[in-house]
Chain A
């Protein structure tokens, strides 16, 4: 257990429905990432936050995806109008990045496995 939790762990939904996932990072960590992993592939970067600010979004993150980290603690990832191609494992990563230092070690949550029927 890395100390990063995600909820739910599994989600089955029908195409067109909206889904929301939650990530609770390690409490003192200031950096939070979302990655997506499909079967047989490495995780792909979606977006990341430094405290409550969303600093970067991947081109993979279509308009149907939105992420928030309102108080710089937990984060939510919402997918609107889900498509079958959204089926994947959604991984949250927590990290502590010093102001003047390099990127910190990244701690993965257990992931939310999404299946869109």
Chain B
């Protein structure tokens, strides 16, 4: 089955700096790659997603890049703010099945 690895497990940045979180996946059939933000005690919240027919997608300060050949995808957050502090999960889906999640990255934005 699919295996998703996520790095780093923790990330601390200064407010205004950029943050990058990287994920790799194993199933070459995966074609949908969402990113979720989860605050303590709350549900995962979709922040951006990308499908395998595109290489990059942006939404304001957030961008995701996908390299299908290398089977990795990354989340980029620019101009980080304290409210960006949370746990971020990447995930991958092959076809129309279920999501396989990474182990999460705890992002701390220092004011």
Contact = CB atoms under 8 A, between A and B. Distances in A.
Nearest to A104: B96
B104 A42 contact: yes
A105 B95 CA distance: 13
A110 B97 contact: no
A102 interface: yes
Interface stretch (B43-51, B64-72, B74-82): B43-51
Chain B interface secondary structure, helix, strand, loop or mixed?
strand
Contacts of A42: 6, 89, 91, 101-104
Nearest to B51: A102
B99 interface: yes
Give the size category of B's interface with A. 20 to 34
B104 A40 contact: yes
Contacts of B95: 102-103
Contacts of A44: 101
A74 interface: no
Most buried by A among B36, B44, B100: B44
Contact of A105 (B46, B89, B96, B100): B46
21 contacts: A33-B99, A35-B99, A42-B102, A42-B103, A42-B104, A43-B99, A45-B99, A48-B97, A48-B98, A56-B97, A91-B44, A102-B51, A102-B95, A103-B32, A103-B93, A103-B97, A105-B49, A106-B46, A108-B36, A109-B43, A110-B43
Interface of A: 2, 33, 35, 40-45, 48, 56, 91, 97, 102-103, 105-111
8 cross-chain pairs, A with B, having the tightest CB-CB distances, nearest first = A42-B101, A45-B98, A108-B43, A103-B96, A42-B89, A103-B93, A43-B101, A110-B43
